[in-house]
Amino acid sequence: MKKILLGLALVSAGLFTSCKDYLNEEPALKQSNELTFSTYSNLNSAGAALYGMMQSASWYDGEFVLESELRAGNAKNPTSMAGSGRYRNDTQWNYTESSTSSLWSYAYYTIARANNVINNLEGKVVGDVTQQQVNDLKAEALFMRALSHFDLVVTYGQPYNNATDTLGVPVSLVTENGKPARNSVKAVYNQVVADLTEAESLMSDSYTRSDALDAAAVASKPAIQALLSRVYLYMNNWQKAADYATKVINNGKYSLVSGADYVSMFTAATAPKGGEIIFEMYGSDKNEYWDESGWTHLSYITSLDGSGDVCATNDLVKLYESSDIRLNLFKKNENDYFALKYYGKTGATPRQTNVPIIRLSEMYLNRAEAIVNGASVAGATAASDLNTLAAKRGATASAATKTGVFTDRRKELAFEGHIAHDYARTNTSLVRTDFDETVNKDVPYPSYRWAMPIPKREMDANPNMVQNPGY
């Protein structure tokens, strides 16, 4: 796969042209003569465009999610269907700088877009534009910049809790950034936290984009707080992880669902109001980074009605009790189980899907893990949080221990891109049983393999870029 250079990614991020096959071509850049940054209206339009690249097959609608599942024992290549073989490297952890995650290009483009908004808002409180409108837009861009940097550092850097001074990724705060060197893991996390805390202070409690087709597919204050809970969890800052999870849980805007509502929320055209989804990627075939066939996207890759390249492992499926409603999101085909979380929106063939990025259930799991590790929350225990979630799923909660929380996270967040990062941040070695390959069945922790290699195109173009050890 071709990768875009960071230096190129940061030269211009106004408008982007469509790219029909973005697995073989880098995202195209085009500076619009119409889109300038001289008015709030144009900046607001640029803010709305921040979310588009998450639907690329390199990010939330494909590789970023599946790489985690395939690497860490939740997913595998099926035997009941031929598939295309596109994801064999992932199960084998067989990465090189020429076959690494393609997240680099799309995340840095998004960061560049966010920087254009953040750095051009000065003096935009004119006419009918209020200071709060400017603050909300800035908060939105800060959230997207933080999410992008975070996804980059957990992909290309070692986990925070054991490697704060090791190589992270370049922190980009301006559009034109030349050929930057890599910042430390600690520095990247600190910037993510700084962006999110500023965003939280700026954004109004009621902010939502009036033009959004899906209210959960744009930044909100609960989404900011939920992401902070996740980031602090990865930093082993247990009290703040718990505190921010509690803010979201106590918000009252979201609630855990059960029964048929649990299954249907993954196929709904938009996130059901009052449900579990706090932030999601909105799937649309009108997106600029959508290919016409849809065959590179999650719904096709994981579906029997698509290419069927990826299915669940028996290890994962065996974790669920027969009464667990989460079993309804797996479909058996001979000896394989295919995940149905991304079967496609209601009434459509598996062509496009929404992808949950943050759900309320994660907040209960974050808080439970934080409490197990020493955090204190009035009125809550790790056991009560695990039991609350399990009751909604028709299941029995695991023990309120580190291992128990890990197991319940694996069951609840399966096929949502968490598990490899959970192994890494908990410093846990990977041991797989349902594994048909011969290469890297088990992966110890620590290992250089927990950080993916930097793309070759970036290495070739940027003399200040240093490759991860081992590659």
Give the start-to-end residue ranges of the domains of the chain. 6-461
Average pLDDT over residues 67-90: 90
**Tens digits of per-residue pLDDT, 10-59?**
333 332 222 322 223 345 444 443 456 899 999 999 999 999 999 999 99
Measured CA to CA, the distance from residue 348 to residue 285 in angstroms comes to 12
Check residue 136 and give its pLDDT. 98
Average pLDDT over residues 180-192: 97
**Tens digits of per-residue pLDDT, 404-435?**
999 999 999 999 999 999 999 999 999 999 99
Average pLDDT over residues 382-399: 98
**Tens digits of per-residue pLDDT, 284-341?**
988 878 776 778 899 999 988 888 999 999 999 999 999 999 999 999 999 999 999 9
- SS3 of the chain: CCCCCHHHHCCCCCECCCCCCCCCCCCCCECCCCCCCCCHHHHHHHHHHHHHHHHCCCCCCCHHHHHHHHHCCCEECCCCCCCCCCCHHHHHCCCCCCCCCCHHHHHHHHHHHHHHHHCCCCCCCCCCCCHHHHHHHHHHHHHHHHHHHHHHHHHHCCCHHHCCCCECCCCCCCCCCCCCCCCEHHHHHHHHHHHHHHHHHHCCCCCCCCCCCCHHHCCCHHHHHHHHHHHHHHCCCHHHHHHHHHHHHCCCCCCCCCCHHHHHCCCCCCCCCCCCEEEEECCCCCCCCCCCCCCCCHHHHCCCCCCCCCEECHHHHCCCCCCCHHHHHEEEECCEEEECCCCCCCCCCCCCCCEEEEEHHHHHHHHHHHHHCCCCCCCCCHHHHHHHHHHHHCCCCCCCCHHHHHHHHHHHCCCCCCHHHHHHHCCCCECCCCCCCCCCCCECCCCHHHCCCCCHHHHHHCCCCCCCCCC
Check residue 351 and give its pLDDT. 77
Task: Indicate the CATH number for domain 6-461.
Answer: 1.25.40.390
| pTM attached to this predicted model | 0.93
Measured CA to CA, the distance from residue 226 to residue 235 in angstroms comes to 14
Average pLDDT over residues 112-120: 96
Check residue 28 and give its pLDDT. 46
Average pLDDT over residues 364-391: 98
Check residue 10 and give its pLDDT. 37
Lowest pLDDT segment from 90-99, 383-392, 400-409: 90-99
Check residue 35 and give its pLDDT. 53
**Tens digits of per-residue pLDDT, 134-146?**
999 999 999 999 9
> Do residues 3 and 455 make contact, with C-beta atoms less than 8 angstroms apart?
yes
